[in-house]
Amino acid sequence: MSKPKVSVSQINIIAKNHEATLRFYRMVGLDIPEPINQLVGALHVVSKNDQGMLLEVYNHHLASIYHAGIRNGNSSRSTIIGISLESRDLVDVTYGKLVAAGFEGRQPPYDAFWGSRYAVVADPDGNDVGLMSPPDEGKASWPPANSPEP
């Protein structure tokens, strides 16, 4: 019997401030459409990349309809949302733009041991968002060293 194909298909964000969250991800450079009209009070946005991965942003009202853990306060968060940027410079520019706009920088840009330029910014709900360039073998280093402090 062959193993079924399983892949990550989407990331869902339950936004405390839907408008601020959409603004953040638009500033990152993602194509984020306007919210879909749904139930009264429910906000939902779907952004799909070229590889078919979905980033869906809901408000608390909608999420509480389909997720009992949201309703009863029994949900968790320990995720980094990865955003691929096309160049090393764009990681620095995007990080700088987001921090200047008041979003919390959690890891300033640096050359990570795997060869990518990498930074982390918190979105409005406190989700860690990793900004990463394509890896450059010439920038890779081993053994890994701790990243610089913010």
* Residue 2 is assigned to a structural domain of this protein: no
Of 71 and 26, which is predicted with more confidence?
26
Domain co-membership, 137 together with 87: yes
Structure tokens at 27: 């500033």
What is the pLDDT of the chain when averaged over all its residues?
A: 87
* Residue 31 is assigned to a structural domain of this protein: yes
| Tens digits of residue pLDDT in 90-132 | 999 999 999 999 999 999 999 998 899 999 999 998 888 999 9
SS3 letters for 29-86? CCCCCCCCCCCCCCCEEEEECCCCCEEEEEEHHHHHHHCHHHHHCCCCCCCEEEEECC
Across 72-92, average pLDDT: 83
Domain co-membership, 107 together with 61: no
The β-bridge partners of 56 are: 12, 46
DSSP letter (8 states) at residue 3: P
Of 91 and 37, which is predicted with more confidence?
91
- Backbone conformation region of residue 147, classed left if phi is above 0, alpha if psi is from -120 to 50, else beta: beta
Q: Of 6-10, 62-66, 92-96, where does mean pLDDT reach its minimum? A: 6-10
Across 63-86, average pLDDT: 77
Domain co-membership, 85 together with 71: no
Across 123-146, average pLDDT: 88
Q: How many residues does the chain have?
A: 150
Domain co-membership, 42 together with 93: no
Domain co-membership, 22 together with 83: no
Last residue of a domain, one of 76, 96, 120: 76
Residue 117 CA to residue 100 CA, distance in Å, equals 19
* Residue 88 is assigned to a structural domain of this protein: yes
Domain co-membership, 68 together with 88: no
* CATH code where residue 35 lies: 3.30.720.110
Q: Roughly how many angstroms between the first and final C-alpha of the chain, as a whole number?
A: 49
Please give the residue range of the domain that contains residue 140.
79-150
* Residue 149 is assigned to a structural domain of this protein: yes
| Phi, psi (deg, nearest 5) at residue 128 | -75, 130
What is the identity of the amino acid at 2?
S
Domain co-membership, 72 together with 138: no
Structure tokens at 3: 């193993």
With both helix axes pointing from N to C terminus, report the angle between 18-28 and 88-100 in degrees, rounded to the nearest 10.
Answer: 150
Domain co-membership, 56 together with 94: no
* CATH code where residue 99 lies: 3.10.180.10
The dihedral through the CA atoms of 90, 96, 97, 99 has a sign that is: positive
Domain co-membership, 14 together with 60: yes
Structural domain total, the chain: 2
